[in-house]
Amino acid sequence: MRLAHLSDFHLLAPRDRPDWRIRWIAAGRPLDFEGRYARAVRALRHANRADLVVLTGDLTETGSVAQFRTFADALAESQLDPEQVVFLPGNHDRYGPADAWENAFDGPLSRFPHVARGAHGVFLQRQGLHLVALDVTRAQGCLRSTGFFTAPQREHVQRSLLVVDGARRHAVVALHHPPQRHPVRAWHWVNGLDGTEDLYAALGERPRSLLHGHVHQDRRHRWGPHHVHAVPAVVMPREEPPVTFHDVAPDGELARVETVTPPPKLLELVS
């Protein structure tokens, strides 16, 4: 089985106005609707090579209804099967109306069933893979970009891992924020995951694989017994948007990681 991991699209809507708020939230990224949209479509089409596609948040720049509609359009162009995709939000997806994430999946993204929403995470078992997807976000002002691992998320993780450990399988846990604490306390308060110690305790002593976005970089490291994988942001102005593929072993462990860019022939389809 092959899993594709993508994150941080930061899609804009065609009529977004570049006021001070969106410029602040975009953090210097070019406010190029067409360029961002084209990169998203290319990356999603390339991810269609995988059996399962995990999107770890920041689908939109400011969480507006129009931006979620734009993401729905990109998914329609990619021709991904709704059963093939798992969604969880990032902090940018919560900068709009408090219920924008939920409304997006009752509206333009309603075809997609595997969505982490608040206390309702995703636990997906498929072809040996046991995936636990978390929503560690909440509505907050644009001066913070914090994640929150709370009691409902802890219960979801612990319930899911009981099933995984009972089947003697490897668990993959997906969230938007890096799971470990940032060494600078003030920066962690602004941009990190509140509750990282509780997450570490909930994971237990068996090795797990964790997938996240937020940092916009390709990172692979250990967190105690756990393997942590971050991916580059689709929005970043590189040559082409990277897509990270994981080959899943029969016991559910991520056996290999490969980050590739769409081939030239694919690029011509959306040029």
pLDDT at 250: 83
Nearest of 21, 59, 54, 56 to residue 37 by alpha carbon: 59
Task: Give the H or E element holding residue 252.
Answer: none
* Structure-token match 């040559």, residue found: 239
The ranges assigned to domains in the chain are: 2-269
In this structure, CATH architecture of domain 2-269 = 4-Layer Sandwich (3.60)
What's the CA gap between 148 and 195, in Å, rounded? 6
Predicted confidence (pLDDT) at residue 17 exceeds the cutoff of 90: no
Predicted confidence (pLDDT) at residue 212 exceeds the cutoff of 80: yes
Residue 152 in contact with residue 119, Cβ under 8 Å?
A: yes
* Structure-token match 């600078």, residue found: 184
pTM reported for the whole predicted model = 0.93
Model confidence at 207, pLDDT cuts 50, 70, 90, reads very high
